Amino acid sequence: MDNIIKKMDTLFPSTLTVEDIEKEHKPRPENHTVTRIAPSPTGMMHIGSVYAALISERVAHMANGTFILRIEDTDSKRKVEGATDIIINGLKRYGITSDEGAISATEEVGDYGPYTQSDRYDIYLAYIKKLLQEDLAYPCFCTEDELNDIREQQTKQGLRTGYYGSWAKYKNAPQEVILEHLEKGTPFTVRFKSTGKNFNKRLFDDILKGKRNLPENDADVVILKASGLPTYHFAHIIDDHLMGTTHVIRGDEWLSSLPLHVQLFEAMGWTPPHYGHISPIEIMDDNKRRKLSKRKDPEASVTFYEEKGYPKEAVLEYLMNLANSGFEKFRTENPDESVWNFPFDLQKMGRSGALLDLAKLDSISRDYIGRLSAEELYNSLFEWSETMAPDLYTRMKNDKDYFLNIFKIERENVERVRKDFTNWSTIWHEIDYFFDDSFSPEDGYVAKITEQSPEVIKEFLSDFINHYNEKLSNEDWFSNMKTLAETHGFAPNGKTYKKDPDSYHGTVSDAAKILRVALTGRAQTPDLYSLMQVMGKERVIQRLNKSV
RNA sequence: GUCCCGUUCGUCUAGUGGUUUAGGACAUCGCCCUUUCACGGCGGCAACACGGGUUCAAAUCCCGUACGGGACGCCA
């Protein structure tokens, strides 16, 4: 073996030894909870990553522990330029703060780094060499084609696929064969030498799934790729040991490799962390449920929510809802508390996968926006529009007071705030009629929408214009309007109208509708009085004159 | 194909053997409030996947079946 290691030293030069690493390594304090999120920089931020990060962050911070952001970039093929920043900014955006790890593409904080796997190259190599020395690992010279052949044969015979048992060609290869390959320069991987037996079951206690019996791992998995970089399995063991991770929260697609990971920890002589496997967020596709896919589903990417303009707080609340069944009750009882004050409890996580429910997100989002003051609403929308709706941004910048007044309608000094804003991207469409340059109804629109005769409309509106006094209170204004409506042939109430429908053009509500439509072009709007106050007398008169 | 995980209203879920005519929220429908809409209030529809056991008693414990999801890579 020493020959092999010597040979490897020339291939992958590194003088760092396990002894060096362990001498430098500071153990964490006793009973200090450490969790981490370990995304791959593939260029997009998956909503599932935010979900997993949120849960891990909560587990650590609820226990006054440490939350780490580690960048898992050992797959050079999938690595994308600038992707680390996307991850960092994505988490920051949702208020998920890490205590250690990458803080930008080039900087990191913490005493347990480096926190980017490609910078940990010689650490992995040191441990690989140790395993080789101890005969717990061995080089494998199989080509891709050979491995495919093995898989094919196994499938044909109805066997488990994998590099195990008698299929493990180089497991006990003679030294000469290995050295010969090394001399020739045959590319090779390093595989872990498993002693597990597939027919042995072992009990694992998952934080979320509970006690599970899983078969021992008997496959000699690759731990070092031909590129010299470790596989996920190996990097996970080394990093989480050295970084002192106590709780690994990850997607349940990893559950099958749990026996392998525990086996690796034990082979290194280390205690494995606690594991919690969370179910993925799913989507309904053609009447079938499946995991949200970043390729097929735009909803999988956080950019979807940014573009639609869901407030980040609303997205976070929605995720918290999925993560913890008690959250809804907490929110009902504490409408104004921050989500970060919710007593998150891992035991209250659902075991099965949840379907992404945008209607529920809408509802949470409406509630959230409804709780904002006009000023807060203005600021949030302004910030969003800078990148997502530049025209709106310019408009808001130039006309701040007008926007604030619009947002104050039925928002300030009322018992119940209206909830007609679902997200930032829909707001402009709700309020565009307030602006003269985007108010261009077609000819005869009032008659068309109200189904009143042009004469009635003309007479009622002309009279209204003559008597309009913007100084009046809502009550006085309305009672004047009511009187005016009656003189123009509208019944004061439904009861009167129903008694003799032929004698009236409608009720006072129909008269109000004429005004509403003339001013806004719509049959449904917020409170008429407030709306006219915000528009101002000049604009009101001008619009009414136009439709007379 | 082999192995693993899961399954309570349409959706998210409460439920840990008797407190349950299975509770809440979102969605949906109806009514009320009301100058429209939204808000709010009240109410309706609506679920323990199926089959066997264990037990005086099962959504809850055990065993099968079905269905759904996942893993089986020099991806993570």
Render pLDDT for A242-253 as a digit per residue (tens, 0 to 9).
999 999 999 999
Q: How confident is the model at residue A7 (pLDDT cuts 50, 70, 90)?
A: confident
The average pLDDT across A432-458 equals: 85
Helices H / strands E in chain A, number of each = 24, 16
Q: How far in angstroms lies nucleotide B25's C1' from the CA of residue A326? A: 11
A203-216 per-position pLDDT tens digit? 899 999 888 888 99
* Listed range (A3-7, A293-297, A322-326, A469-473) with the worst mean pLDDT: A3-7
CA/C1' separation A162–B1 (Å): 13
Residue A448 has pLDDT above 90, yes or no: no
**A190/A132 Cα distance (integer angstroms):** 9
- For the CA of A408 and the C1' of B32, the distance in angstroms is 27
Q: Pairing relation of β-strands A34-37 and A66-69? A: parallel
Please state, in angstroms and rounded to a whole number, the distance separating the CA atoms of residues A381 and A110.
Answer: 36
3-state class (DSSP) for residue A244: coil
Task: Give the span between the Cα atoms of A242 and A405, in whole angstroms.
Answer: 57
- Give the nucleotide at minimum CA-to-C1' distance from A357: B11
Protein residue minimizing CA–C1' distance to B4: A256
The whole-number pLDDT of residue A2 equals 66
**Quick check: A201 pLDDT over 90?**
no
Structure tokens at A174: 């003679």
pLDDT at A370 over 90: yes
pLDDT tens-digit map of A267-277:
999 999 999 99
**3-state SS record for A388-454:** HCHHHHHHHHHCHHHHHHHHHCCCCCCCCCCCCCCCHHHHHHHHHHHCHHHCCCCCCHHHHHHCCCH
Domains of chain A: 2-13+121-278 (3.40.50.620), 286-370 (1.10.1160.10), 374-432 (no CATH), 439-546 (1.10.10.350)
Q: What is the rounded CA–CA span in Å between residue A59 and residue A191?
A: 34
Distance of A409 CA from B49 C1′ (whole Å): 50
**Low-confidence winner among A51-55, A444-448, A535-539 (lowest mean pLDDT):** A444-448
Weakest-pLDDT range from A294-308, A337-351, A392-406, A447-461: A447-461
Q: How many CA atoms lie within 13 A of A65 on its CB side?
A: 22
- Taking the CA of residue A208 and the C1' sugar atom of nucleotide B6, their distance in angstroms comes to 13
Sequence-separated contacts (24+) of A23-30 with Cβ below 8 Å = A25/A242, A26/A111, A26/A112, A27/A244, A28/A66, A28/A244
Predicted pLDDT at A340 = 95
Which pLDDT score is estimated for A119?
92
| DSSP 8-state assignment for residue A210 | E
For residue A315, the model assigns a pLDDT of: 96
Against a cut of 0.90, is the pTM above it?
yes
pLDDT for res A534:
94
> Which residue is nearest to the C1' sugar atom of B6, using CA?
A352
Half-sphere exposure of A331 (CA within 13 A, CB side): 18
State the pLDDT confidence band at A106, using cuts at 50, 70 and 90.
confident
pLDDT in tens, A311-354: 999 999 999 999 998 899 999 999 889 999 999 998 889 888 89
Q: For residue A450, name the pLDDT band (cuts at 50, 70, 90).
A: confident
Q: Which residues of A13-30 are buried (b: 16+ CB within 10 A; e: fewer)?
A: eeebebeebeeeeeebee
Q: Which residues, in sequence order, are CB contacts of A403 under 8 Å at separation 6+?
A: A378, A396
The model's confidence at residue A1, banded by pLDDT at 50, 70 and 90, is low
At residue A366, the pLDDT reads 96
DSSP A475-509: HHHHHHHHHHHHHTTEESSHHHHHH-GGG-SEEHH
Backbone angles phi, psi at A240, to 5 degrees: -70, -25
Quickly tell me which residue has 């498993």 as its tokens: A194
Angle between helices A390-398 and A374-388 (to 10 degrees): 140
Q: What is the pLDDT of residue A329?
A: 92
Structure-token match 């044969």, residue found: A153
Nucleotide nearest to A226 (CA to C1'): B74
Model confidence pLDDT, tens digit, residues A166-196: 898 888 888 888 888 888 888 999 999 999 9
Report whether A63 contacts A85 (CB < 8 A): no
The closest alpha carbon to A206, from A256, A245, A243, A244, belongs to A256
Question: Is residue A376 pLDDT above 90, yes or no?
Answer: yes
Say what the pLDDT of residue A528 is. 93
Q: Given a cut of 80, is residue A358 above it in pLDDT?
A: yes
Cα–Cα dist A193/A218, whole Å:
9
For residues A384 and A306, what is the distance between their CA atoms, to the nearest angstrom?
8
Chain-wide mean pLDDT for chain A?
Answer: 90
Dihedral angle, C-alpha A379, A381, A385, A389, nearest 10 °: -150
A124: helix, strand or coil: helix
The answer to whether residue A94 scores a pLDDT higher than 90 is yes
Quick one: average pLDDT of A506-528? 90
Nucleotides of strand B lying closer than 7 angstroms to a protein CB: 1-8, 10-16, 24-27, 35-40, 68-76
Q: Å from A141 (CA) to B28 (C1')? A: 62
